[in-house]
Structure 1
Amino acid sequence: MPHIIVEYTDNIKDEIQIGELLKKMNDVLISFPTIFPIGGIRSRAIELKHYRVADGSEDDAFVHALLKMGAGRNEPDKTKVCEKLFAMMEAHFAPLFSKRYLALSMELVEFGESGTYKKNNIHDRYK
C-alpha cells in the first residue's frame, strides 16, 4: 500500500500525459519512505467513456484521484502526503485548467486489515 486510482474523462486523454502523471504520483509517494514501503506503491488510471458533468451543456472534464492506504498512519503524515500529492496534481493540470473547464479532486480512503488479502514479493527487492 498505497494504491492510487485516477479516473479521468476521455475528452482530455490526449492532453493530460497520463503516464507522466502516474510517474509523478509514484514519485510523491516514494518521497515518504518512512510512511510507505516502495514495493507496495501502485498507481493506475481509468479512462471514463460514459460520464456526465454538471448539466452536460459544456465539454466539461474531470480528474478524480483515489488514494487508498491501510489504516494506522497518523493524521499529520496523511495530511502531508495528501497535500503534496494534490499540489502535484494542480501543477500537472495547470496548463489544461487555464484553457478549459476542469474539475480536479482527490480523496483518501483507509481500510483495515480485516477483509484484505495480500501477497507481494516485490518488497524483497527493496530490502
Structure 2
Amino acid sequence: MPHIIFEYTDNLSEEADIPNLLKKVNSVLINHNDIFPTGGIRSRAIELQDYRVADGAENDAFVHTILKIGSGRSDVDKKEICDELFEVIKGHFAYQFARRYLGISMELIEFSEEGTYKHNNIHKRFRNG
C-alpha cells in the first residue's frame, strides 16, 4: 500500500496525459517512503465511458481519485500527503479546468490490515538497494 486509483471521463482522454499523472503521484508517495514503502505503491487509471455528470446538458468531465491506505498513519501525515497529492492532481488538470467544466475530487480510504491479503516480493528490491 498505498494504492491510488483515478476514474476519469473519456472526454478528457486526449489531453489528460494519464501516464505523466501516474508518474507524478507515484513521485509524491515515493518522497514519503518513511510513511509508505516504495515497493507497495500502486497507481492506476480507469477511463470511464458510461457516466453522466450533473444534468448531462454539457460536455462536463470529472476526475475522481481514491487513495487507499492501511491504517496506522497519523492524522498529520495523512493530511500532509493528501494535501500534496490533491495539489499535484489539480495542477495536472489546471489547463483543462481553465477551459471546460470539470470536477476534481479525492477521497482517502483507510482500512485495517485484517482481511487484507498480500503476496509481494517487490519490497525486497528496495530493502536491498
Structure 1-normalised TM-score?
0.99
Distance 1:103 1:91 in 2: 13
Distance 2:72 2:34 in 1: 13
Q: What does residue range 34-49 of structure 1 map to in structure 2 within 5 Å?
A: 34-49=34-49
User: 1 CA distance for matches of 2:32 and 2:84?
Assistant: 10
Equivalent-residue separation in structure 1 for 2:115 and 2:38 (angstroms): 23
Q: Could you tell me how far 1:124 is from its partner in structure 2? A: 0.2
Q: How many residues align?
A: 127
State the Cα distance separating 1:33 from its structure 2 match.
Answer: 1.3
Structure 1 unaligned blocks of 5 or more? none
Whole-angstrom distance in 2 between the partners of 1:116 and 1:39: 16
Q: CA deviation at 1:113?
A: 1.2
3-state secondary structure, aligned to 1:33: coil
Structure 2 unaligned runs (5+)? none
Q: Deviations over 1:7-56 (max 9, x none)?
A: 00001100110000000010010010110000000000000000000000
- Tell me how large the CA RMSD over aligned residues is: 0.4
- Tell me the equivalent position of 1:79: 79
**Are residue 124 (structure 1) and residue 124 (structure 2) matched?**
yes
- Following TM superposition, the consecutive aligned residue runs of length 4 or more in structure 1 with deviations greater than 6 angstroms are none
Distance 1:37 1:60 in 2: 37
